[in-house]
């Protein structure tokens, strides 16, 4: 059995920082918000590894600047979803990661990853779930004409954007909002919510 096949068996009543892995596809502002919360002492964790699927993306550049290890797993090379997800599991296990955070990961994940880190795979989504699942939660909210939207942090299950919700933050939609202005305010809310939600879950994960 691999050394880290069952992270719940490790670190029971452990006070050491939670070892997290992060997955990102794009700009990486949520990834950096996690790093900042760790530096500020509001998130009792350490980022062991960032994995990106787009070489040269903003998240990778941020990792370089922050001195955080980054691995590229290009979905154009690992073309089958299960192969990409197995590579993710292998990378994060090698890095002794306890919990994975999908911080702007724009690929559908399979049971290979979901079951490999069961109840330890977290996603952030730019809407108040269960509204506006899938792509472009901001655009969907604007198109629907809702007056309040927001962001959700949830555990990942086989149902797309459908796993148990850990935390949510509301963001009012203003009359003059464009996609860019609303996206900026939702991102601000995400940057607060994601570290808070992860930190609040640490005792649960550590109890295993």
Residues that bind ligand GAR (CB under 6 A): 24, 26-30, 103-104, 124-126, 137, 151, 187, 190
Nearer to ligand GAR, 7 or 103 (CB): 103
CB of 32 to ligand GAR, least distance (A): 8
Sign of torsion over alpha carbons 134, 138, 143, 144? positive
Nearer to ligand GAR, 26 or 208 (CB): 26
Sheet strand arrangement including 18-24: 70-72, 45-52, 18-24, 99-102, 121-125, 148-155, 165-172
Q: Choose the catalytic residue: 75, 125, 154, 179.
A: 125
CB of 50 to ligand GAR, least distance (A): 11
β-bridge mates for residue 122, sequence order: 101, 155
Look at strands 165-172 and 148-155 and give their pairing.
Answer: antiparallel
Report the alpha-carbon distance of residue 137 to residue 31 in Å, rounded.
19
Residue located via tokens 């509001």: 42
37 DSSP 8-state letter: H
198 phi/psi in degrees, rounded to 5: -65, -45
Nearer to ligand GAR, 97 or 194 (CB): 194
β-bridge mates for residue 79, sequence order: none
125 in catalytic set: yes
CB of 174 to ligand GAR, least distance (A): 18
Nearer to ligand GAR, 27 or 36 (CB): 27
* CB-neighbour burial class of residue 23 (10 A; exposed 0-12, middle 13-18, buried 19+): buried
CB of 29 to ligand GAR, least distance (A): 3
Nearer to ligand GAR, 7 or 149 (CB): 149
CB of 183 to ligand GAR, least distance (A): 7
The catalytic residues are 125
């Amino acid at each position: 059995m691999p050394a880290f096949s069952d992270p719940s068996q490790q670190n029971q009543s452990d006070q050491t920082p939670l070892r997290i892995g992060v997955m990102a596809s794009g700009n990486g502002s949520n990834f950096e918000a996690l790093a900042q919360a760790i530096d500020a002492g509001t998130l009792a964790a350490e980022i062991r590894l960032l994995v990106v699927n787009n070489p040269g993306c903003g998240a990778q550049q941020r990792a370089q600047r922050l001195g955080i290890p980054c691995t590229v797993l290009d979905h154009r090379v690992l073309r089958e979803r299960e192969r990409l997800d197995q590579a993710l599991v292998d990378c994060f296990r090698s890095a002794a990661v306890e919990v994975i955070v999908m911080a702007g990961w724009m690929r559908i994940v399979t049971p290979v990853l979901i079951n490999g880190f069961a109840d330890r795979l977290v996603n952030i989504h730019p809407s108040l779930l269960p509204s506006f699942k899938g792509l472009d939660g901001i655009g969907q909210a604007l198109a629907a004409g809702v007056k309040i939207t927001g962001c959700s942090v949830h555990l990942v299950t086989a149902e797309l954007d459908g796993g148990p919700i850990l935390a949510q933050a509301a963001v009012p939609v203003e009359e003059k909002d464009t996609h860019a202005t609303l996206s900026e305010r939702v991102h601000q809310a995400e940057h607060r919510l994601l570290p808070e939600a992860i930190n609040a879950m640490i005792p649960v994960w550590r109890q295993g």
